[in-house]
Structure 1
Amino acid sequence: MKISYNWLNDYIKTDLSVEKVASVLTDIGLEVEGIDKVESTQSNFNGVVVGEVIDCIKHPNADKLKITQVKINENEILQIVCGAPNVDIGQKVPVATIGTILCDKEGNEFKIKKSKIRGEDSFGMICSEEELGIGESHEGIMVLDSHIKLGMPIKEILTTSSDYTLEIGLTPNRTDAMSHFGVARDLASALKSRKIKSELLPISIEEFKLEEENYNPIQVEIEDANLCPRYTGIYLKDVEIKPSPEWLQKKLRTIGLTPINNAVDITNYILHSYGQPLHAFDADKIKGNKLKVGSVQKGTKFVTLDNVERNLDGTELVIKDSEDQPLCLAGIYGGLESGVSSTTKNIFLESAYFNPISIRKTSKKEGISTDSSFRFERGVDPNNTLLPLKKAAELFKELANATLVGEIIDEYPQPIKEVNTVLRYHKIDQILGKRIHRDQIKEIVKSLDFTIISDVNDVLDLNVPTYRVDVTREIDVIEEVARIYGYNHIDIPEKFSFTYDNNQQNEEDLLEDSITNLLKFNGFYEVLNNSITTKKMEDTNYVELLNPLSSDLSVMRQTLLYGMLQTVSFNYNRNQKEIKLFELGKVYFKTSGNNYLENKKLGLILSGNFQSNNWISKENRSSFFHLKGIVYQLLNSLGIQPSEKPIHSNLYDEGIELSMNNTYLGEISIISPSQFKEFGIKNEVYFAELDWDNILDLSTKRKALKFEEISKFPGSSRDLALLVDKNVNYFDLYKTAFNEEKILIKSINLFDVYEGEKLPVGKKSYALNFIIQDERKTLTDAEIDAVMNNLINIYSREFKAELRN
């Protein structure tokens, strides 16, 4: 948010420099992120006069240029070639005559000379705001008020001055400070607490006076008081739409706004002065002279000021006429038909309070964000609609010669009351760790406009002003006291004393720490990705946000994969070639019965080099088995001995599922290129996602350990080389062997797979190693051979396997 230092001084009287003001604002939570000096002009304007365009024709040799005849006094007319699209006959414009020296925005001087442009002579320049150094607009020439005298030196019209723009990084909850007066109010409270001389200047509306009492041509009806608790408005007659005076344009330019005309500029000025959005209707386009605040039927078409036709679904709060035709999306955007234009003569000016949730939903649904909606959806002051309305009416009277007609309409069926809360002195001491004098606490809460109802037994009973929508609890008031008192004034103790109770350690946290340390020791880096993602990244049954930040952040993630792929892509783009990452985070699902599931997962991802080139070993590329080894090391450290089976999906080229005692543990996979190439990743990606909750439940470290004696009898190793059909997978052979000889077979390992020209068509070769052992005795060769022959027979019968020589 941009704040003008000079504009701020309209509401607070202080001798502090802009740097000191910025420092105090930052101390109280209105962090000033930057200060920019704004010079209204760096030129002296000598040689720049007011001219009138009396003729304007198309340049014969250039489509975008025009040849103008500009009268600069009663006896002199200059031919000037101009490229501005808005130049036209009858305009009063600033003309830089030959010999004039101007400055560009960098302060570099340039001299106006006679020139020939595309074969046509030009004897000067019609200036834009940017060329004069009084603004940033360069889209067209600057058009002056038609009443200005011909030939007048421009420096007699434009005043030069300097200002500062303060860029404040305002938190979303501080709608009370989204204006110059709001910032001044906070600053005055802070300066008072610091005993620095200042004065918050009162807002006067003494000059406000209605000229035709007890009559208002426009009637207002609120159809839904929950969505529009308050609606105020005034009728302005015989309005003259014209450019704003220079002082108003200058204020708006300082904070980055482009002046439009006096009607638009006044509403913008009030918005940024007091934080209350206003909307001006062309009163003559309000059918039936009646405004209704409510909804319209689903499917109603409505064209907004940006000339976009919108299809309303009936949930939006709108301002409509007597025939239920929408004129404005309430608090967000006006309609094209009812908007103020250069031909407008009568205006109905609106100042209202709308339900923040309703405004936020419509703003998100329509994809419209305006200065008005930004404030309404966060909550403005419902009890401060009249003052800004009256100030705006005064300006319309002064700057647009408007007549203020009849009574002010103020529909407020159920006034919103101030929030009541308490403040206990001992609670402040406890939270801040410091005792602030009780009188100073009361002085701070009073300076923040909190009303002290009572002060009994060291407890303040308070009413909070309605403009402080972020203060609803005692802890909020304590925060207010702390920030105005100054966090820098709260001493940091030299030592802390506490009792460490080892028995209170969280067992799950200890296990989590041990696993994350194990991964770090293996060269992995921990990442934390956003739990909110886009719908296109997720499957069905996703958990959708009720109030998404954007279409790209609208659902909760169902896997850690996509966030980690984005991190891999980010690192590859920064020339990181050895990527080992892990993340512990939650995933979310919605069941068919509209219940919600939340599970914690551990994700591991490898890509690029597993080990970089060094003086001992050569570069080693990451592989599926590197990742599998890490996962098994992790699970074994927790006392888990998993079984595995192969899996296939759209995400994986190949993968295995891990389980133990029929409990799912997770998956290890080679990610399909179609997945990782979408993220701009060229190298293969290996990914494991483990069910952390199930792993914790199965971990022996959470249970009493059981010890078994190591067998005294040796095991024997046997190998089988099998020729099988290509559709036979290792897991089928693995499972069959254990089912048949589950007592004697201790482990099976696949140590070779071969598919080549020497094998029959449709065949492949598996080489398996078996460890056979009896816990009760030493097996004889005959017993071991019997086990192996039994396996050969089963493999032959079940899979038509053949032994290879």
Structure 2
Amino acid sequence: MLISFDWLKQLIHTDKTAEEIGALLTGAGLEVEGIHTFDVVQGGLEGIVIGEVLTCESHPDADRLRITTVDIGNGEPSQIVCGAPNVAAGQKVVVATVNSTLYPAEGEPFKIKKSKIRGAVSEGMICAEDEIGIGQSHAGIMVLDTELPNGTPAAEFFGLGSDKVFEIGLTPNRADAASHYGVARDLQALLDTKVELPAIAAFKVDNTSRPIAVEVEDTDACPRYAGLTVTGLKVGPSPEWLQKRLRAIGLSPINNVVDVTNYVLHELGQPLHAFDADKIAGDKIVVKTVEAGTTFKTLDGVERKLNATDLMICNADEPMAIGGVFGGEESGVTDETTSIFIESAYFSPDSIRRTGMAHGLKTDASFRFERGTDPDIVITALKRAALLMQEVAGGVVSSEIVDVYPKPIENRQIELSVERAHTLIGQHIGAERIKTILTDLGIEVTGETETHLSLSVPPFKVDVTREADVVEEILRIYGFNNIEMSENLATTYLAKFPNPYAEDVTETITSYIAANGFHEIITNSITNSNYYQYAGEAEAANLVKVVNYNSEDLDVMRKSMVFSGLEVLRRNINRRQRDLKLFELGKVYEQQEGDYQESRRLSLYMTGNVTAESWKQPNVKTAFHDLAGVVQNVLRKLNAGDFEVQKLAENPYMRQGIAYVKNGTVVAELGVLDAGVTRFMEVKEQVWYAELNWDYLLKKYKDKLVAEELPKFPEVRRDLSLVLDKHVTFDEVKKVAFKVERKLLQDVNVFDVYEGDKIEAGKKAYALSFTLQDKQQTLTDKVIDSTMNRLMQQFEKQLGAFIRK
């Protein structure tokens, strides 16, 4: 955003330099990213002064040249050779001094040097208007009628002084500062002076011969709409002062009518639009939405298809403008326009933002409307524009002001605790200073007690909605640099922090996974809804849809991590990278009973061979236990307690696998992805997949470090071979074992599994090892045998096991 310093000084008096003002604004949160000089004439006429011709003689060696002496105010006359026919003694002229640079109206710039012309020394140049870039005439030198002393800069005579322009990096929350008036409001508080708004007392309605009726059908999208008619004006170029103001902030003048609307926009922050009144069919404006698919040609000549939610400014027959965003080609002001209707409105930021994004349109008006303008300045801006129109284009106001405002937007009422303000600021600045700052910022103090202030916050302060926001306003004006640092850092309360931080746990786990050969991937949370249509009606039912998506391939938030990873696998496999171990920590989204739910998932993918191809060992395909081992170790590192292992329930993505369950909550699922899913995603390899409920696991995480003395007595190992039904899992065997013997049993391990023709069909054989240890004494054979007998009895009783001997 560009702000003119000269323009600012018309609104607020200050003797400070542009650099000092820039520092103040930056300290108050309006970061000045740069200050540059704007010259109305290129070069700013630097080095060009007013001079007086003292003598004028013919050149002895050139009939058309004159040798003059010119007083340029430096105490010693300068000799200048001049070829203009109208040069004469006694004239006040414009002189380009030695080492100055001229920027002519046509041609390249050139530097003035001390030289000899036909043998005569020339110390400068007496200029015509085209030679200094302020006109086109080259008939002769400029002869000035002025009493200004010799040596006065020519820029002062022509009123072409340079301007300083602030380049401000406006943050989205500071919509109130998106104008010269908005910036001046901050300076009012910073400089303890008053903003002087342009006078509008002279506004009057001259007649009511050209009324335009207004009807607002959608008052939610357009809470306030006002306008008036000006007739008898003449469209043409704007006066020099108006063009200079606009050029200083990077705008190109168009004509006096459009220039006034742009001027008021950047002065007061209120966007305006001028319609050719003769093109308003039925002398009526209707603010409404139109049927989706309606075509509309905007001012840039582009024909656009409208959406059902686009707010349109229509006449009695057809749309004329996209409300708050862009005008229409057919209703705009032209050189033949003699009557205009000036629109000044307040539009809902949500409506403007939605329309602007849908059509890819960004204008100065939509920039402000979508952040929030001031509904209370609508009429002020309208009167200001009407007065300026009359000043620069003539005409008369030919209607009463129409103001449709059925539900006025009220000020926000906020209670401010003075003590709380001092606590948040970190320093006692006093209630009186607080009140002064707030009043200067336009926030009214409506009530006061010893401890609290009752505040009325105007709508233009769109980001001030609570007590903390008010304190922020106070602090940025008081000055962050004015807050003293105490010798000792302290806090008035002890915050409860998770121990350790979730980020530390995440770093530990992801580092472990990476150390096991997995590569981390980061994928887009926005994905293709067609994936879930394939996965089934249930999966597609509760998707979170993106409202204004730009691509049909990215129209929903992902509900599962599966497809994101498969896209990465497909890309790598298609490039002959087939042995892959990938993991991702990301978010999934779902809509449940009108509410949106967001949660984090840790997903792991394995495909191809376990290790890279090598002469040292044969290739081994990735199997279930390669992934299960990593998942089990992740759960173990989280110290989240014991998990029940269950057969995987019905799953749209995996055809077989297991689930880890705790207190009825599924915390992890792993298995092989269904071949149909991988084929649909064009992944030709078998993919092992695991997905962990990361949010749940973090909540259950326990940071425990248990240290104990090394045992003095040895371990004892005993082996058993059990024949079991196929459906009996090792986890069930383990649970029975530890239920039978809690004290001596340290570990149970399976070191062989057999299924084949040597045992009964539907059976499998487990070869198990049991580690026993008594930490108080050496185990005897009697205790060991007794323990093993009890284990065998319970395996037979509870699991129907056959003990092979």
Q: Tell me what 2:258 maps to.
A: 264
Q: Tell me what 1:599 maps to.
A: 599
Q: Tell me what 1:486 maps to.
A: 479
- Which among 333, 338, 349 is matched to residue 340 of structure 1? 333
Q: Note the 1:495-514 alignment, pairs <5 A.
A: 495-497=488-490, 506=498, 513-514=504-505
CA distance in 1, matches of 2:250, 2:622: 55
- Which among 505, 508, 511 is matched to residue 517 of structure 1? 508
CA distance in 2, matches of 1:304, 1:710: 88
The answer on 1:235 being equivalent to 2:229 is yes
Q: Tell me what 1:474 maps to.
A: 467
Q: Is the 8 A contact 2:673 2:689 kept in 1?
A: yes
Q: TM-score normalized by structure 1?
A: 0.65
Q: Is the 8 A contact 1:542 1:556 kept in 2?
A: no
CA distance in 2, matches of 1:243, 1:216: 25
Q: Tell me what 2:108 maps to.
A: 101
CA distance in 2, matches of 1:161, 1:562: 64
Deviation of residue 713 (structure 1)? 4.7
Q: Counterpart of 2:225 in 1: which secondary structure? A: strand
The answer on 1:305 being equivalent to 2:299 is yes
Mean CA deviation greater in 547-556 or 22-31: 547-556
CA distance in 1, matches of 2:464, 2:191: 21
Q: Tell me what 2:285 maps to.
A: 291
Q: Tell me what 2:319 maps to.
A: 326
Q: Counterpart of 2:408 in 1: which secondary structure? A: coil
Q: TM-score normalized by structure 2?
A: 0.65
Q: Is the 8 A contact 1:713 1:778 kept in 2?
A: no
Q: Which amino acid aligns with 1:431?
A: L
Q: Is the 8 A contact 2:589 2:598 kept in 1?
A: yes
Distance of aligned partners of 1:165 and 1:222 in 2 relative to their CA distance in 1, 3 Å threshold: same
Identity percentage over the alignment? 36
CA distance in 1, matches of 2:446, 2:504: 51
Q: Tell me what 2:248 maps to.
A: 254
Distance of aligned partners of 1:512 and 1:348 in 2 relative to their CA distance in 1, 3 Å threshold: closer
Q: Tell me what 2:12 maps to.
A: 12
Mean CA deviation greater in 492-501 or 376-385: 492-501
Q: Is the 8 A contact 2:310 2:355 kept in 1?
A: yes
Query: Deviations for 1:60-89, whole angstroms, at most 9, x for unmatched residues?
Result: xxxxxxxxxxxxxxxxxxxxxxxxxxxxxx
Q: Which amino acid aligns with 2:238?
A: S
The answer on 1:714 being equivalent to 2:736 is no
CA distance in 1, matches of 2:177, 2:570: 40
Mean CA deviation greater in 595-604 or 377-386: 595-604
Deviation of residue 458 (structure 1)? 3.3
CA distance in 2, matches of 1:527, 1:443: 55
Q: Which amino acid aligns with 1:589?
A: E
Question: Which structure 2 residue ranges, 5 or more long, are not aligned?
Answer: 47-102, 114-129, 143-153, 533-539, 572-579, 708-712, 738-746, 755-763, 771-784
Deviation of residue 385 (structure 1)? 1.3
Deviation of residue 491 (structure 1)? 2.1
Q: Tell me what 2:591 maps to.
A: 590
Q: Which amino acid aligns with 2:271?
A: P
Distance of aligned partners of 1:353 and 1:443 in 2 relative to their CA distance in 1, 3 Å threshold: same
Deviation of residue 467 (structure 1)? 2.1
CA distance in 1, matches of 2:716, 2:2: 81
Q: Is the 8 A contact 1:455 1:461 kept in 2?
A: yes
Q: Note the 1:401-440 alignment, pairs <5 A.
A: 401-440=394-433
Q: Is the 8 A contact 1:102 1:132 kept in 2?
A: no
CA distance in 2, matches of 1:162, 1:778: 100
Query: Deviations for 1:426-482, whole angstroms, at most 9, x for unmatched residues?
Result: 221222232112221121112112222232333222222332232233332222111
Distance of aligned partners of 1:583 and 1:180 in 2 relative to their CA distance in 1, 3 Å threshold: farther
Q: Tell me what 1:362 maps to.
A: 355
Q: Tell me what 2:692 maps to.
A: 690
Q: Tell me what 2:178 maps to.
A: 178
Q: Is the 8 A contact 2:607 2:688 kept in 1?
A: yes
Q: Note the 1:565-580 alignment, pairs <5 A.
A: none
CA distance in 2, matches of 1:163, 1:497: 48
- Which among 666, 669, 672 is matched to residue 668 of structure 2? 666
Deviation of residue 183 (structure 1)? 0.7
Q: Which amino acid aligns with 1:416?
A: I
Distance of aligned partners of 1:101 and 1:692 in 2 relative to their CA distance in 1, 3 Å threshold: closer
CA distance in 2, matches of 1:17, 1:584: 53
CA distance in 1, matches of 2:324, 2:362: 10
Q: Is the 8 A contact 1:319 1:330 kept in 2?
A: yes
Q: Counterpart of 2:181 in 1: which secondary structure? A: helix
Q: Tell me what 1:204 maps to.
A: 199
Q: Counterpart of 1:101 in 2: which secondary structure? A: coil
Q: Which amino acid aligns with 1:101?
A: E
**Bigger Rg, structure 1 or 2:** 2
Q: Counterpart of 1:172 in 2: which secondary structure? A: coil
Q: Is the 8 A contact 2:230 2:340 kept in 1?
A: yes
CA distance in 1, matches of 2:408, 2:753: 80
Q: Tell me what 2:458 maps to.
A: 465
Q: Is the 8 A contact 2:283 2:315 kept in 1?
A: yes
Q: Tell me what 1:53 maps to.
A: none
Q: Which amino acid aligns with 2:184?
A: A
Q: Counterpart of 2:332 in 1: which secondary structure? A: coil
Q: Tell me what 1:91 maps to.
A: none
CA distance in 1, matches of 2:288, 2:381: 23
Query: Deviations for 1:18-74, whole angstroms, at most 9, x for unmatched residues?
Result: 33222211211112233344455545899xxxxxxxxxxxxxxxxxxxxxxxxxxxx
CA distance in 1, matches of 2:7, 2:469: 29
Q: Which amino acid aligns with 1:270?
A: V
Q: Tell me what 1:137 maps to.
A: none
Deviation of residue 397 (structure 1)? 2.2
CA distance in 1, matches of 2:653, 2:371: 41
Deviation of residue 349 (structure 1)? 0.9
Q: Is the 8 A contact 2:23 2:32 kept in 1?
A: yes
Deviation of residue 284 (structure 1)? 0.8
Distance of aligned partners of 1:244 and 1:310 in 2 relative to their CA distance in 1, 3 Å threshold: same
Distance of aligned partners of 1:153 and 1:523 in 2 relative to their CA distance in 1, 3 Å threshold: farther
Q: Which amino acid aligns with 2:300?
A: D
Aligned residues: 649
CA distance in 1, matches of 2:390, 2:633: 80
Query: Deviations for 1:359-417, whole angstroms, at most 9, x for unmatched residues?
Result: 33333344433221222222211111122222222332233333332433333344333
Q: Is the 8 A contact 1:233 1:410 kept in 2?
A: yes
CA distance in 1, matches of 2:367, 2:413: 26
CA distance in 2, matches of 1:534, 1:133: 61
Distance of aligned partners of 1:345 and 1:479 in 2 relative to their CA distance in 1, 3 Å threshold: same
Q: Tell me what 2:372 maps to.
A: 379
Q: Tell me what 1:22 maps to.
A: 22
CA distance in 1, matches of 2:677, 2:33: 40
Query: Deviations for 1:733-790, whole angstroms, at most 9, x for unmatched residues?
Result: 98577599887996557999xxxxxxxxxxxxxx99943569614999xx99xx9x99
Query: Deviations for 1:598-648, whole angstroms, at most 9, x for unmatched residues?
Result: 43323468999x999xxxx9xxx9999887654332212325568598999
CA distance in 1, matches of 2:621, 2:485: 49
The answer on 1:276 being equivalent to 2:270 is yes
Distance of aligned partners of 1:414 and 1:153 in 2 relative to their CA distance in 1, 3 Å threshold: farther
Deviation of residue 596 (structure 1)? 4.6
CA distance in 2, matches of 1:357, 1:240: 37
CA distance in 2, matches of 1:301, 1:405: 33
Distance of aligned partners of 1:169 and 1:518 in 2 relative to their CA distance in 1, 3 Å threshold: same
Query: Deviations for 1:674-715, whole angstroms, at most 9, x for unmatched residues?
Result: 999xx9x9x99997531135546887989x99xxx9995512
